[in-house]
Amino acid sequence: MGAGGARHLLLLYAAVAVFGQTLDADVVEELDESFKDNRKNSIWLVDFYAPWCAHCRRLEPVWNEVGLEMKRLRSPVKVGKMDATSYTSIASEFGVRGYPTIKLLKNDLAYNYRGPRTRDDIIEFAHRVSGALIRPLPSQQMFEHVKKRHRVLFLYVGGESPLKEKYIEVASELIVYTYFFSASEEVIPEYVTLNEMPAVLVFKDETYFVYDEYEDGDLKSWVNRERFQNYLTVDGFTLYELTDTGKLIVIAVIDGKNATVEHTRLQEVIQEVAKDYRDRFHRRDFQFGHIDGSDYVNNMLMDELSVPTVVAINTSNHQYFLPSRHIESPDDVMQFINDILDGTIEARGGDGILQRLKRICYDVRTTIVSVFRSSPFLGCFLFGLPLGVISIMCYGIYTADTDVAYTEERIEVSKQETETRDVRDEGNEEEKKEENNGNSLVLSDAEQEPKDILEKKND
């Protein structure tokens, strides 16, 4: 390629870059302090970021794609971003405590997004939360269509009732996680059996379950537990959400890139248990799945697990259990679960004081290591500068104490020298007095002798 061709290519790249920046600015609005007063007339999907945050920089291209797709779909949701370090009062008002924080702002409500930071997941969240809280299903055809689109589907069946009021209240809190629908009894398929009306159902795993207040307890807790499929491909976000359910999570920790029989078989074994023993474990709050890699689990447990393995995590008290023997079949998994229930396997971890102190030390150590690995210069600056300042302060305090001690010592020595000098002076004065007295006596004797001689001559 000649010089002219290279020049034209560079101009083309520059034009594309400028066009991309203009496009990004058009679909994602940079927000300022005026946003606080102007936002109430629209629905906003906002990324609160910090310029120095590495996670925020990784999210930026994804966020631009979200804005572009929302504009293409002509969504009523506007996409924006705000520098939370520049507009701290607004960020604090919306409860921003970390970066990046994604929120959907609708009327006076702010909904937090806690899922994977991918374009499709964020867009699905925006559509779900920005729409109707309870979506009606007018026909069986619509019901079947929605059921095919959603892996987990909550449905209220019946008319106005106290149960529906609870259902709406739960939906207002958990809409950030799942959809909520309503229908009349005529819409429900014939294979669904309802012993009483009204009712709340969940459709998942090719079956359905009916909410029973006496057996399942609070409706919100039940929905929070049932919003997951029985078997999951677990990642960091899913594992974090599962901690709110209080379930016992049985996970196969494998290496997804390792195609050996040992890894694939362990995943299949957990899947078989989740499917074949679903009815047995459904009301006992068990969750099954597999996770690719052990990094997140190691961080959660503050332990180093060998891969592949199986671990059971009690999300209610942060304890975990490891099998006493190698898992090779569903029977081994069932024995492992029964040993946990019987208490024959020792629980590790927990949420006691020692574990909390261990967590603090572990988090500090991992944070320091991650900072130095990602940016050694930044790590030296962040940790070296404070240590240098503290060292200078300590040195100043030490030298100040030394100077004070030296001054006090010199004052004491001076006092002792002064006292010694005074004593010496007093002794010299006494000696002079004694000498003067002696001289006086000598003079008196000398003066007395001529007087005695004169008196004798006169006689």
125-166 pLDDT, tens digit per residue, is: 999 999 999 999 999 999 999 999 999 999 999 999 999 999
Token look-up 């302090």 returns: 33
Q: What pLDDT, on a 0 to 100 scale, did the predictor assign at position 294?
A: 83
DSSP state of 108: T
Backbone angles phi, psi at 177, to 5 degrees: -110, -35
Between CA 219 and CA 316 the distance in angstroms is: 18
Q: What pLDDT, on a 0 to 100 scale, did the predictor assign at position 17?
A: 41
Map residue 229 onto helix, strand or coil. Answer: coil
Residue type, 342: D
Tokens matching residue 208: 């359905």
46-88 pLDDT, tens digit per residue, is: 999 999 998 999 999 999 999 999 999 999 999 999 999 999 9
Measured CA to CA in angstroms, residue 280 lies from 195, 285, 312 at distances of 21, 10, 17
**Nearest-10 crossing angle of helices 119-130, 54-72:** 60
Which residue numbers are catalytic? 53, 56
102-135 pLDDT, tens digit per residue, is: 999 998 889 999 888 999 999 999 999 999 999 9
Q: What pLDDT, on a 0 to 100 scale, did the predictor assign at position 407?
A: 60
Contact 338, 277 (CB under 8 A): no
| Residue 391 predicted with pLDDT over 70 | yes
16-29 pLDDT, tens digit per residue, is: 443 444 444 568 99
Which percentage of the chain shows pLDDT scores above 70? 77
Between CA 205 and CA 228 the distance in angstroms is: 10
Q: How confident is the model at residue 302 (pLDDT cuts 50, 70, 90)?
A: confident
Domains and CATH numbers, the chain: 29-113 (3.40.30.10), 132-226 (3.40.30.10), 230-351 (3.40.30.10)
- Bridge partners for 169 per DSSP: none
- The angle subtended at Cα 105 by Cα 112 and Cα 240, nearest 5°, is 5
Between CA 261 and CA 399 the distance in angstroms is: 67
String of DSSP letters for 34-82: THHHHGGGSEEEEEEE-TT-HHHHHHHHHHHHHHHHHHHTT-SEEEEEE
